[in-house]
Structures are given as C-alpha cells and as structure tokens.
Structure 1
C-alpha cells in the first residue's frame, strides 16, 4: 500500500481539534449539563472520595474530583472533561492499532470513530458508560503489549494491564463482560496461549485483585449495596425488545463512520474496476465485519463484548440497556479498515486519503449544527436549555448569606442529584447528600456531625407555567417538611425565582426553587445540682 499522506502529528492535531470542537459545540447547543443530572451526581460522589457508592463503583467519580481540583467548576470545563476522556480513548485505539500491526490505518480508524455517536454526541454526558471509552482501548492495547513484550518491559505492561483492568471494573461492573472477552483472543491465538505459560498474566491478575480489594471490602462492609444495585438490572426473564435494540447497537451507534468507510472504499474500487456500485457496496459492507479466521485477535476484541452481552441478555441474566453499548465499539473501525484493506488494497489506500481530507469539512459541519441547535433551543424555549442551574446556585448561596450572616452552609440534601448544583456552581465546600441526611441512601457515604452544622434541603420545583401559575410542591417538598416537623424545626419553604439572562437566552423562563433551612440544634443546658 502507498504510504499515507499524513503524519502522526497531523493525526493527533485532527483528533485533538475534533474533541475540543465537540466540547464547545455541546456547551453551546445544550445550555446545561445532562437532563438526568448524571454529571452533577458524579460531582456529588466525588466530594466523598469513598471506595463505593449506593449505585456504582467510584472510579469515574474520582476522575471528576481530580479534574475539578485543577479546573474551574463550569459546564464548559465539564464538557471538556467529557471529550478529554474521548481523546484519551482515541489515543488508546491508535496504540491498539499499532500493537495489531495496523499502524498505517490507525490514524483514519481514530478519525472514523469521531464520526460515531459514542465518541461524539453520547460522549457529552460523562458517566460510568462514557468513562469506559478511555479505559477499554488502553486495556486491550496493554493485553497485547503484555504478551508481545519480554523481560521487565513485559512485566511492566502486565502491571499496567492489571491496574487498568481494575479501573475498568471500578468504573462499571459491566466491564467484566469486556474482560471475559479477552479469553477468546488469548485461547484462540498461538501468542495468547504462549502468554499463559509465562508469569505475566498472573502478575496482571494479582495486580487486578489488589486494585479491587479495597472496593470489595467497602461493598462487603455496606451490605453489598453496589453489587445489589447491579444485580437488580436483571429480571430473570428474557426481555426481547431490549435484546433486539442492543443487537442493533453496532449499526445504530457506529453507522456514520461505517457508512463513510464502506462507501468511500466502494467508490474508489468502482473507479479501478468499473462495476455496479451497489452490489460492490453490499459485498464490502459484509466483508468489513468478517474475521480472517479463528485466530483473528482483532475480530474477537471487537466483537466479544457485544456478543457476550447479547448472550447474557438472551439468558435473562441482565435487562440490557442500550447505553451499555457506548464503549463496545473501540475496535470496530480498525476491523473495518483492516478487512477492506485486505479485500481491495488499492481502493482502501485511496479511501484513507479521502477520509483524512474529509476531517475538516466534517468539523465545520459540527460547528454549524451546534449553532443551529442552540438557536432552535433558544427560539423555541426548550426547558432543559433555559434551566438556570448555575444562576440558581448563586442566588441560593447569596440568599443564605443574607439570612444567616457569618454562618457557613456545610451540607445540602433534598432532590438528588440536582441538589448538587449548589456545590458545583457556588459552594464547593458544601457537601451534597442524597435526600435526607439520616436516611437511606445517605448513610452509605455519611457526613459526620451533620446535625451540629448548618445545612439545607433543596427542592427544585421547575418552571412557572405559561399561564403564570406557580409550579406545585414536589414529593421532595413533602418529605422535607415532614422530616423537619419531626425534628421540631421550621418547615416553611423559602421560594426563590430565577431566570437565565444574556444573548444565548432571548426568551427568559422563570424557575422556582424551594429551600428549607436545617439549623443546628442548641445543646441542652446543664442544670446545676
């Protein structure tokens, strides 16, 4: 094949600029973080720095904590974290391609992933699923490095393999399916089987166990709550609708990159050997997903997570969630290009150059689309776009300071996880608690001495209705009032009305937030004898 017309440096620049533009596009088009408050939930968990939570393993929350120990706590920098995570994952895909002997196609394989939904639109919401975009490719690359290298280098790669495998499990237990899929390339390839006869896999396994041990101890000491949450994802029955959606995920999530790859190669081949385009397209489309044989390590790395997940779903072990598919396709573009290169080498060489040149027009389209989406959301008054999370946090913090001068607000409970907006946007030292501070699930990551410190219960009520009527109290309000009355405290809410202003928000909407003060109770007086 002809030498590629780009350097490694130009590929890094293209991928980096892509990630930066996607972060800016998401910040511009969304107006807020995600509508389910997953990203605020991550931040709230990051405040505790525990080895577990009541829902998920903790690694992705630790990443959030480290990031915001360095960078400002704003929506833009949170989106930058999301796409920095993507950039790290793309770098891992590049190294995986090099380890597989596919250095010449690795740059375009990376760029093709930047056209696929998991690495673009879906990556904007940083959570347990998207965290795996960075961890899985590097773990796969380190598996190959561990069995390809010898001596101290091989042992060092094995240690790194164990660390990243552990980090994957500490991000989401679903990574167990990904790690189980390693058995296929290990057992079906000669180099993999030879690796099993060395100390390296057992070093990796030992390190993996050491990384997981503190988390396992934490879970065991907290009633296996995190594992119980994961097990609740399965009903014991096969949910065929979820199975079908997950079965189609490789096409639904990676369709733009796959279509571009196959279409350009088909067109280039049709120029070399004039023939009907569509029959050629169908032949190459099928060929792009095929293995070269039972010992095809790339094929098994690419397909095993998807196939094993489907098997578990069919068996009723888990109720499959389509977002679980976000990290599974890290090796798909390498597989497509490798197979097409074998089938039509000259056409693929030309296609690589075409696909590389298409990067900048695609990025320009992304910026244009972000402007169109932002304009549409602003003009049509989308509630999620106009939700004043940052403005509400500032207003609540200022209101507290005026009503309680000199009294530090040390914790905030209420509507999890939207209540984390106060800590994220205004008061980083205020600890966010899920719900009420002395009830489930707050006691899994307890805040000591909360009753001796000033706190608040925050209950967002939503936007004022179009007819001007106020939003009704929520279940959060009812629970807060009942809890306060039981403790002899004032249960009257303080209502704050907040709007977003500025050029991005031409049709302001008023949102109402209810806050309930929780003041420390005075210690009982000691009577003199």
Structure 2
C-alpha cells in the first residue's frame, strides 16, 4: 500500500494579510524606536497614550470614592505660593496650583495630574536610558516602566512621593551629563536639579547620597572630581536652597518635627517588620515588569514548548557572551551603583538606627531597575521582544480599561451589614457650603478639621475654604486661627472617629459660641448606598 502523502495547506488569504500587517507594524515600531528623530515622537506618543488611558482607567476604578486626602492636600497647598507647607517643601503644592489653574478641581483632573506626572517621568527616564544604552533598549525601558505598577494603578494619588518620579530622574539625568561632560554648566544644572529634588521632599537625600557615593566609587572618579562640575553643583545647590532654609528657620524646622512626631519607632522589632514590609512590597511591584520583560525576551514562537521542556534553556535564551556595542559601560556602572545603593541603603539605615521605613517611600527609589537590567551587556534585546512587550502593555491596559467599572464594584469595601464604607466628603462639602451661604451670604473662607477632612472641603467646596488643622504643631501656613476667627469658619469632627475627642475638645476651646449641628452624609454608587457618616459641625460667624 502506498503511504498517504501530506500536503501543506496554505493558510487563508485573510490570515496572511493579518500576519503581514502585524509584521509591517512591528517592523515600523522598531524602525521608529531606532530613528534619531522619530524615536522622540514615538516615546512622547507612547507616554501620552499611557497617561490618557490610565487617567480614564483610574477615573472609573475610583468612581465610588472621593479623592485621596493627599491629593486634596496638594490642591490646598496650591492655593497659595509659599516656601513650604508645614510638613513638606513646596514644589508639589506649586505644581498642583499650576495644574488646577488650567484644569477644574474634579476627580478626573487629579488622576490626570498623577498620570501626567508619571508620563513626564517616563520621558525623562528615556533620556537617562539614551545616555546608557541604544535607542531600542531605551524604548524597552520605557515600556517596562509603563508596566511597573507605580506608573499606573499604584500611582493614582498625586503627592510629593509621586512627584519625585519627575525630580529624581531629572537629578540622575543631570548627574550622568555632568559625569560625562565635566563642565561648569553641567555642574550648575546638576546643582539646580538637586535643589529641585529637595524642594519636592527631603527623602531625596537618599538619592543625592547614592549619587555622591557612586561618583566616589566609580573608577573614573578622579576625572569627575578634578573638573568644576561637582563643586559647581554643590555651590549651586546650597545657593538655591537658601530661601527655603530661611523659611525652615522661621517655622522652627516644622517639617522635621512632623517627621519625628509622625514616624516614631516603638521598638527594634517594629523596625524589622517595617523593613521586611518595605522590601516585600517594593519587590512585588518590581516583579511584574521584570517577569513580563523576561517572558518577552525569552519567548520564541518556534520554540513555544521550550519553557516546559527545558526551563534552563528558556532562561538562557536571552543571554549572549558577545561584545555588546549597545551599552555604554561607564554610564551603566553609574546606574548600577546608584540603584544598588538606594535599594539597600534605606533598609540598612532603618535597621541600624531604628528609623521608620514606610512602603510608599520606595515609590521613587526603584525607577532605575529596568534600565539597570536592560544595561547588562550580555543581555540580548531583539526587536521582536520590544514589540512583544509593547503588545503586552497595550493588551493589559485596554483590558483594564474595559473591566474598570466591574473592578470598581467588585473592590468596594463593605461593613458587616453589607453597605460599602466610602465616606462622601464631596457631599459634606456641598451641604456645608449651602449652610454657610444661607446664613451669611458670603464665601466660606476656613474649614477647621483634621487633614483627612479639612483638605477635602478645600477641594470639593466651590468656595475652596482654607484648611485649619486642630492642634497641628506644623501648620501649613495657608491660614491661622486668628484669620479663622476674623473670617468665620466651620469646624468639622467625624463622629465615632478615633480623633473625635481631640477634635471636639478643640472646638470647645476655640468655637465655644458657635452654632452646633449634626450633619449626616451618604455616598451613592451604581444603585448602592454607603453607610451613613455623621459629623459634629460648629459654625462660627465672621468677626466673632
């Protein structure tokens, strides 16, 4: 008998066309990523698309709740241009003020501000990558950052921590340029970048210290240290920080009192627990872009069974022992040193000195990890891997956009009676604004309440009253008790909150003759009603 002969069956024309279109699109993407001029437009367009898509996603994901009080606080700070705001340096308030001069104080605009911040950070990180690796690898770094949760759903709240994703990359970029050029101008720019970072949050001293140590450890350190660049940077930084230093002295170093009073450690065991939580939290966040990038680099359609048949071969696929011309090893060493120091320095310091280490403080310290990995000379980065990772980003982003309304409902926190527990500060602000207008026929000027309440009134009330926090030893400077009594104010204490007793005591001391009422609020979302929240409200008229 004759054996049956298998004949290859040609795929349908439509499939060939789709395959051809996909290959042409992938080839065009890689060509743009490599092109000296078009690469800028590609990365800018990618960052813009990322920011717009994730603004839409976050607006839907967070639709059942009001904005985080950190965001409302930033908005409040932006109402006045000061040299500091009690707890932090002023830059985050200045940026928020500029943003809301253009956009209305709405929930979506706050998420837009957060995503604009991370998108600008991505652009700066791309510029950093260009100093270290070729353009194809630099674009891969940008896509990895877009998959890093800090640059998407974890970056939903704008605050000084998030703004560091702009100022710290600027600082690293300025350092790489100064290390490379070693000119007076590059040193001045490095000092200016350092001052800008310090005006964001004092925590940036970790990165400044890491850069200083990297410069001292680097084999080419003497070339850098003998140039005017580092010394010009130091002088420029010191000079630019003089006005803020004067403000610090005037307020008796209030930000440091805030840090010492808020983040006190009770025992060494607590310090150990915080460090472990910090490392675990930030390690888990980094795992997503690193694992997805590893899959994109190692995957090959011709060897789709390889990961299961031979895991070692699959892991070895992206590596090569050939010399790599796409990596500048001197600048790559700077990146490895800086990232290594800021990765291990804060945890070791926290353990050694029993310092509080908050998980969110790692937000700004690991943005160099993707570049540190991509800059490994033996790592092969084929164009197909870049396309795969970009496709993964697109699919995950669009899928999240489609599922966002369902995710918002599924993640609602509920109490024992099945009611979701988000507090409606926006409703409270509207009610109190109407009450004030009905009584005094004038704008509401001051809202007295703790940070999670007062700043929300500033954001949501159409009058945007200035917040006044009871018993705060580090006042923001936006208003004062004397001004509040002159202009009149509304005092707000949440009933059954752990701060209620202190809040009520402050009201008795400073608003003894005020009108007292109880207000109830409830949030409604998708046909569901939240648990009711009750408030003790004290209305103090102007001039009393």
Matched, 1:66 2:102: no
Question: Which of 343, 360, 364 is the equivalent residue of 2:398?
Answer: 364
Structure 2 contact 178–186 (Cα < 8 Å) conserved = yes
Query: C-alpha displacement at 1:163, in angstroms?
Result: 2.1
- SS of the residue corresponding to residue 319 of structure 1 reads coil
Query: C-alpha displacement at 1:157, in angstroms?
Result: 3.6
Matched, 1:459 2:480: no
Q: How does 1:99-248 map to 2 (within 5 A)?
A: 99-149=131-181, 154-232=183-261, 233=263, 235=265, 237=268, 239-248=271-280
**CA distance in 2: counterparts of 1:497 and 1:37, whole angstroms:** 20
Post-superposition CA distance 1:448-504 (Å, at most 9, x none): 533222211122448xxxxxxxx999336522542246x5x13x5223333445xx4
Post-superposition CA distance 1:431-464 (Å, at most 9, x none): 111126xx744486553533222211122448xx
**CA distance in 2: counterparts of 1:186 and 1:269, whole angstroms:** 43
**CA distance in 2: counterparts of 1:445 and 1:403, whole angstroms:** 25
- SS of the residue corresponding to residue 493 of structure 1 reads strand
Query: C-alpha displacement at 1:282, in angstroms?
Result: 5.7
Structure 2 contact 92–160 (Cα < 8 Å) conserved = yes
- Are residues 169 and 402 of structure 1, via their aligned partners in 2, closer, same or farther at CA, if it must alter by over 3 Å? same
Matched, 1:39 2:71: yes
Give the structure 2 partner of residue 507 of structure 1. Answer: 528
| Structure 1: runs of 5+ lacking an equivalent | 463-470, 523-529
- Are residues 162 and 412 of structure 1, via their aligned partners in 2, closer, same or farther at CA, if it must alter by over 3 Å? same
| Structure 2: runs of 5+ lacking an equivalent | 1-26, 34-38, 321-327
Structure 1 contact 415–460 (Cα < 8 Å) conserved = no
Give the structure 1 partner of residue 443 of structure 2. Answer: 408
Query: C-alpha displacement at 1:521, in angstroms?
Result: 4.3
- SS of the residue corresponding to residue 315 of structure 1 reads helix
Query: C-alpha displacement at 1:55, in angstroms?
Result: 2.2
Question: Which of 320, 326, 329 is the equivalent residue of 2:357?
Answer: 320
**CA distance in 2: counterparts of 1:182 and 1:443, whole angstroms:** 31
Matched, 1:49 2:92: no
Query: C-alpha displacement at 1:299, in angstroms?
Result: 0.9
**CA distance in 2: counterparts of 1:159 and 1:384, whole angstroms:** 53
Give the number of equivalent residue pairs. Answer: 496
- SS of the residue corresponding to residue 114 of structure 1 reads helix
Question: Which moved further from structure 2: 371-380 or 136-145?
Answer: 371-380
Matched, 1:336 2:373: yes
Q: How does 1:385-396 map to 2 (within 5 A)?
A: 386-396=422-432
- SS of the residue corresponding to residue 174 of structure 1 reads helix
Post-superposition CA distance 1:304-351 (Å, at most 9, x none): 211211221221252221111111111111122222xx3352x64431
Give the structure 2 partner of residue 527 of structure 1. Answer: none
- SS of the residue corresponding to residue 432 of structure 1 reads strand
Structure 1 contact 413–458 (Cα < 8 Å) conserved = yes
Query: C-alpha displacement at 1:413, in angstroms?
Result: 0.8
Give the structure 2 partner of residue 308 of structure 1. Answer: 345
Structure 1 contact 136–330 (Cα < 8 Å) conserved = no
Query: C-alpha displacement at 1:352, in angstroms?
Result: 1.7
**CA distance in 2: counterparts of 1:175 and 1:99, whole angstroms:** 22
Query: C-alpha displacement at 1:191, in angstroms?
Result: 4.5
**CA distance in 2: counterparts of 1:209 and 1:33, whole angstroms:** 42
**CA distance in 2: counterparts of 1:250 and 1:414, whole angstroms:** 33
Q: TM-score, normalised by structure 1?
A: 0.83
**CA distance in 1: counterparts of 2:300 and 2:146, whole angstroms:** 22
- Are residues 424 and 98 of structure 1, via their aligned partners in 2, closer, same or farther at CA, if it must alter by over 3 Å? same
- SS of the residue corresponding to residue 459 of structure 1 reads strand
- SS of the residue corresponding to residue 519 of structure 2 reads strand
**CA distance in 1: counterparts of 2:338 and 2:80, whole angstroms:** 35
- Are residues 295 and 264 of structure 1, via their aligned partners in 2, closer, same or farther at CA, if it must alter by over 3 Å? closer
**CA distance in 2: counterparts of 1:41 and 1:398, whole angstroms:** 22
Structure 2 contact 131–331 (Cα < 8 Å) conserved = no
Post-superposition CA distance 1:118-139 (Å, at most 9, x none): 1122211112211111111121
Structure 1 contact 413–435 (Cα < 8 Å) conserved = yes
Post-superposition CA distance 1:210-252 (Å, at most 9, x none): 2222222222222222123334536484622222233344521
Query: C-alpha displacement at 1:175, in angstroms?
Result: 0.7
Matched, 1:299 2:336: yes
Matched, 1:279 2:303: no
**CA distance in 2: counterparts of 1:174 and 1:224, whole angstroms:** 15
Superposed CA RMSD: 3.4
Post-superposition CA distance 1:150-171 (Å, at most 9, x none): 6xxx444433322221122222
- Are residues 331 and 212 of structure 1, via their aligned partners in 2, closer, same or farther at CA, if it must alter by over 3 Å? same
